Structure formats: C-alpha cells, structure tokens
Amino acid sequence: MLIAAGSTEAALAFVEIGAVALGLAVLARLAGRLGITAVPLYLIAGLALGEGGAVQLDVSESFISLTAEIGVLLLLFALGLEYSEVELREGLRTGVPPGLVDMVLNALPGVALGLLLGWEPLAAVLLGGVTWISSSGVVSKVLADLGRLGFRETPAVLNLLVIEDLAMAIYLPVVAALIVGGSLATTMTSVGIAVAVVSVILLAALRLGGPFSRGLAGGSDESFLLAVFGIILLVAGVAQRLDVSGAIGAFLVGLALSGEAERRSVRLISPLRDLFAATFFLFFSFQIDPADLFDTAVPALGLALVTTCTKIVTGWFAAARVGAGPRGRVRAGTALVARGEFSIVIAALGAGLVDGSRLGALAAGYVLLTAIIGPLAARFADRIPVPARLARERAAA
Amino acid sequence: MRETKLPGVGVRHDFTTGDGQDVGVLVHRDGRREILIYDAADPDVCSSLVSLSAPDTRTLSELLGASQVTEAVATVQQEIEGLAIEWFPIGSGSPADGYSIGDGAYRTKTGASIVAVIRGDQSVPAPGPEFTLVADDVIVAVGTTDGLATMRDLLHS
C-alpha cells in the first residue's frame, strides 16, 4: 500500500513525520548545547503539536502512537542494559539503606501532593513514583561532563541509581496491576501474579543471564539486532498479556543481558531507542491539554523545589556512607536532582485514570523543571553553602 | 591499591604514592582510561590528568614498564653476587641474525645462558636451542661478567 505510486496519504504522512523528526533533531542539538537532556524539549514540542496546540497532525498520529509504544519498550530495555547483573547484585548487597531513604524522602512528597490535590490514591502513588526516580541518563551524563566520575561520592550516586532501577522492577508491575484493578480479590491476585512473574524473571536474569547472553551473542550484527528486537517485543507482549506491563518485560530483558551481548545491544539498539523514544515523549505530551499544564504549574513548581531538597538530603546520606566530606555529599545530592525518562513512563502508565490527564500534565511540568534545575544545581554544587555545624562533622568523624 | 566499582561506568583503581599523593586510574567500560590526580586539600575531589584510548594506554604502560624491568634487573644483580644480566640487541649485521640459539652454541662458548628474547612487544621466556634469532631481537642473558663480555663479542663481531 505504502509503496504504491501516487499514494497521497503516504506522501502526507512522510512529510509530517519527516518534519517532526527534523524538528526534534534541532531540539536535541539545542539540548546538547545547553547541557540538559532533550526530554523536556521533546515534551514542549509535543505540547505545541498535540491537542489544542499550534499545529495538528492527523494522518501520522496512528503511526506515531505505535512507534511511541515501541519507544517505551526500547527505553526501558536500554535502562535495564545500563547495569550488569554483577553490579545489580553488588547494589543489592550494599545499597538497600540509602535506597530506602531515597524512596521515603522522594516518593512521599509526590504521594502527599497527589492526595492533597484530591486525586484518587492510585494517581497519587504514581506521582510518588514520578518524584522518586532520578534520571540515570541525566545523572551519569552530568557526572561525566563535570569530570566527577572519579570523585569519592560518585560510587554512592551510581549505586543509588542501580537500586532505583531494581526498585522499578517491582514498583512498575505492581502499579500496573493495580491500574488494571477490578474487585479487591482480583486486584490482589493480579498484584500477586505480577510480583511472582517479575521475581521469577528477575532471578532467572540474575542467575541465567550469562548463558542466555552468550547464546545470543553470536552471528552477524543484522541477526543479532533482529533477535534482540524480537525478544524485547515478544517478552513485552507476553508480560502485557499477563497484566504485568510490557515495559517491565523489556526492562527485564535488558537486565538479563550481559557481557558481549550487552555491549552489542548498546551499540546496535541505542540508535533505534533514540528514534523511537523521541516519539514516545512527543506522543506523551500530545495528550496533555495545555490548560492542564497551566493549572498544575504551581503544584509542579512546589513539588520540584521540595523534591530537589529531598534528593539533596538523600545524596548527602548516601555519600556520607562512603566517607565523602560535606562538599562531596552536597555534590552527590545535586547530581541526583534531575528526573526524566522513568518519571514520564510512570506517568504514562496512569494515562487511563480519572486524574490521568492532570497527572500527565503535572509530571511533564515537573520533569521539565527538575531536568533544568538538576544539571544547574550540580554545576554550582560547590557554591551551595553547607551549614557550619554539618561542615565540621568530618573533622569529628 | 584500592578498587571501586562504578556501576554503568567502569572501575576505578587508586593508590597513594610514597609522597602521599592519591593517584587513580578510571577504566571506562569501552576501554578508555583516565588518569586522576586527587586534590591534596580535599581528597574527595580529583582532576582528570589525561584520557587515554586503548593503544595510548599500551604506549604509556610500555614507557612506565620499561624502567620497571631495568629496576628489577638491577635488584637481581645485587642479590646474586658474581652473576650479571645483560641485554644484547641483535643488529642486522650480527652473525647471529638468522641462526638458531643452538647454532651459536653460546652456553658452551661463554657459560652464559639466554633467559629470554624480546621480539617487538612480546617477550619469549626461556627460548630453546631451536629458537631462531633475527635482527632487532633483544637477548636477555645471565652469566658471569667475563662470559657476558664474550657473548657480546660473539653477537656483535
């Protein structure tokens, strides 16, 4: 159909998609210049193009919605790839206390605000997820750009990201099951099934990830790419069928890959991920009503400020555990401020809820703010005054 | 030497020099390495001295390693009295060029033993009599000072 000569519909779709892709390319370059992630700019672009926006896309919307779905899968797959199973096991061994502090300090403000706004509890729990998870992409990029990878507090920051990744492996399927809902009994069963399925896959990934990766690693780039892409979609499809959320399936596939297969996936899937994920962020904000964004601006700003402070406290606590001084602890905290791709994925899960549209708008505004505040705070972390009482702590210890 | 894992980035090794300076090497997952120097005033902070690709790393370690081998040899010489170690480069005009170690009958003639041959960036420890020497090889031989002097004559004359 699409290749038939003179198909005006296809021609129009090509022009639309091409123009959108070029626009995103300009935004990605601009973000690179500014030293921030492109995610907030994609969200703004989506607002301009979506419902009530300046320009309407019609023909290509169904295409973009499917690529957006694939984008989430590849995004989560890449997030799962980021850490090897050895790093995950190491993270679990040492990182649980800071991980708990992270969850309590950063998820609670989101949940509290959601309840305060009179949202249904589930939407509030999702907002807690939005404020909880730092953007591992932004954090590691900021640390590398500022030349802080060798700093003493950096392992604490990175380990926290590992723990957040693992926490998501439980959080996402549980809330996905809760969203599907039903009576109390069926909800409990589906949550139980979700946790059981994820635990089994996670254990298998940690135990059998090696042989699985080695079996996959052979062959040409072409066959490898197709195999990995196929496995991601298959596992995601099966997970979705079991009400566990396809994204989590893709995430677990990423966790399971290690060694040679992991390196090749990073090289081969990353370009695909960038392409599809950009459409995901775009599509996410297509559905946001600019009026909602305006209404939620004040809560988003307040939430961003509060959770900036709570992330700094989290970083302070985590870095203190590895023996970093007060300055290093502040640096660790500011590095963690930026939220990003995970927050949007979480908000997207709740799109079908009664308060889903406001949740989406608030999350978009919130990610926009923290993605700008985060890298700036990290850059000027050394100028943030540390209370004298706390600064002396090191000498005492 | 201390090792710290950096999830998603790589591994950091660091140690304190005799002068009390903390030095680290950050090995990225892609094989790139950075040499880090820690700030004396704030030991949490470091600056990256230089970033090296995999081939750069080999070059640098060769530069650092070469002096290490010389040092080790000097130590051995001091430990065993009367025994000397010498390195003989084989020139293109050397009578040894193209002949095996057995052909040269070096041990019979000098009493000194060839313990290793360095060829390019590889070293062959304990080469047998069938090992053929070629120009640009470097021979590492152990023997008495007289024996080594005789070997030098055999190889260079």
Tokens describing residue A268: 């081969």
Q: Are the beta carbons of B48 and A147 separated by less than 8 Å?
A: yes
What pLDDT, on a 0 to 100 scale, did the predictor assign at position A238? Answer: 87
- In this prediction the ipTM stands at 0.72
**Cα(first)–Cα(last) distance of chain B, in Å?**
47
CB < 8 Å to B26, chain A: 149-150
The CATH code for residues B83-156 is 3.30.70.1450
Please tell me which of the candidates B7, B26, B46 has its beta carbon nearest to residue A83.
B7
Taking residues A62-86, what's their average pLDDT? 84
What pLDDT, on a 0 to 100 scale, did the predictor assign at position A54? Answer: 60
Taking residues A326-338, what's their average pLDDT? 93
Please report which helix (H) or strand (E) contains residue B68, including its range: helix B54-79
Tell whether B49 is within 8 A of chain A (Cβ).
Answer: no
- Which A residues in the span 162-221 are in contact with B, Cβ-Cβ below 8 Å? 162
Name the pLDDT band for A52 (thresholds 50, 70, 90).
low
Name the pLDDT band for A330 (thresholds 50, 70, 90).
very high
Closest alpha carbon to A132 in A357, A380, A371, A342: A342
Taking residues B142-152, what's their average pLDDT? 85
Measure in Å the smallest separation between the Cα of B95 and chain A Cα atoms. Answer: 49
Taking residues A103-110, what's their average pLDDT? 96
Cα-only R_g, chain B: 21
What pLDDT, on a 0 to 100 scale, did the predictor assign at position A1? Answer: 46
Please tell me which of the candidates A83, A150, A152 has its beta carbon nearest to residue B48.
A150
Taking residues A257-286, what's their average pLDDT? 86
Over 90: is that where the pLDDT of A215 sits? no
Closest alpha carbon to B6 in A152, A165, A158: A158
Distances, alpha carbon A75 to alpha carbons A254, A268, A289, in Å: 10, 13, 24
What pLDDT, on a 0 to 100 scale, did the predictor assign at position A305? Answer: 95
CB < 8 Å to B32, chain A: none
What pLDDT, on a 0 to 100 scale, did the predictor assign at position A156? Answer: 92
Over 80: is that where the pLDDT of A124 sits? yes
Closest alpha carbon to A91 in A206, A10, A239: A206
Over 50: is that where the pLDDT of A158 sits? yes
What pLDDT, on a 0 to 100 scale, did the predictor assign at position A396? Answer: 40
DSSP character at residue A54: S
Tokens describing residue A284: 């996410």
DSSP string, A245-311: -HHHHHHHHHHH--HHHHHHHHHHHHHHHHHHHHHHHHHHHHTS-HHHHHHTHHHHHHHHHHHHHHH
- pTM as predicted: 0.75
Measure in Å the smallest separation between the Cα of B31 and chain A Cα atoms. Answer: 12
The Cα A336–Cα A339 span in angstroms is 8
What pLDDT, on a 0 to 100 scale, did the predictor assign at position A313? Answer: 95
Over 80: is that where the pLDDT of B143 sits? yes
The Cα A82–Cα A79 span in angstroms is 5
Most confident range, picked from A35-44, B60-69, B134-143: B134-143
Over pLDDT 90: what percentage of chain B? 0
Sign of the torsion formed by the C-alpha atoms of A198, A201, A207 and A210: negative
What pLDDT, on a 0 to 100 scale, did the predictor assign at position A339? Answer: 92
Burial of A214-245, coded b for 16+ CB within 10 Å and e otherwise, reads: eebbeeeeeebbebbbebbbebbeebbebbbb
Burial of B125-154, coded b for 16+ CB within 10 Å and e otherwise, reads: eebeeeeebeeebebbbbbeeebbebbeeb
What pLDDT, on a 0 to 100 scale, did the predictor assign at position A112? Answer: 96
Over 90: is that where the pLDDT of A196 sits? no
What pLDDT, on a 0 to 100 scale, did the predictor assign at position B142? Answer: 85
Residues B83/B111, Cβ–Cβ less than 8 Å:
no
Name the pLDDT band for A201 (thresholds 50, 70, 90).
confident
What pLDDT, on a 0 to 100 scale, did the predictor assign at position A320? Answer: 92
Hey, is A53 helix, strand or coil?
coil
Name the pLDDT band for A397 (thresholds 50, 70, 90).
very low
What pLDDT, on a 0 to 100 scale, did the predictor assign at position A107? Answer: 95
Tell whether A161 is within 8 A of chain B (Cβ).
Answer: yes
Over pLDDT 70: what percentage of chain B? 89
Q: What structural domains and CATH numbers belong to chain A?
A: 35-396 (1.20.1530.20)
From A194-198, A207-211, B36-40, the region with the lowest mean pLDDT? A207-211
The tens digit of pLDDT for each residue in B37-67 reads 888 888 888 887 788 888 888 788 777 766 5
Burial of A45-60, coded b for 16+ CB within 10 Å and e otherwise, reads: bbbbbbeebeeebebb
CB < 8 Å to A158, chain B: 6-9
Type of residue at A14 = F
- List the domain boundaries for chain B: 2-52, 54-81, 83-156
Q: Are the beta carbons of B5 and A327 separated by less than 8 Å?
A: no
Please report which helix (H) or strand (E) contains residue A118, including its range: none
Measure in Å the smallest separation between the Cα of A321 and chain B Cα atoms. Answer: 13
What pLDDT, on a 0 to 100 scale, did the predictor assign at position A3? Answer: 52
What pLDDT, on a 0 to 100 scale, did the predictor assign at position A157? Answer: 93
From A51-65, A138-152, A357-371, the region with the lowest mean pLDDT? A51-65
Name the pLDDT band for A6 (thresholds 50, 70, 90).
low
- Within 10 angstroms of residue A2's Cβ, the number of other Cβ atoms is 9
Distances, alpha carbon A4 to alpha carbons A12, A18, A63, A187, in Å: 14, 19, 18, 48
Q: Are the beta carbons of A158 and B36 separated by less than 8 Å?
A: no
Name the pLDDT band for A119 (thresholds 50, 70, 90).
very high
The Cα A393–Cα A100 span in angstroms is 23
Please report which helix (H) or strand (E) contains residue B124, including its range: strand B122-125
Tokens describing residue A142: 């900021």
Measure in Å the smallest separation between the Cα of B19 and chain A Cα atoms. Answer: 20
Taking residues A11-18, what's their average pLDDT? 83
Over 70: is that where the pLDDT of A240 sits? yes
Over 50: is that where the pLDDT of A174 sits? yes
Please, what is the average pLDDT of chain A?
Answer: 85
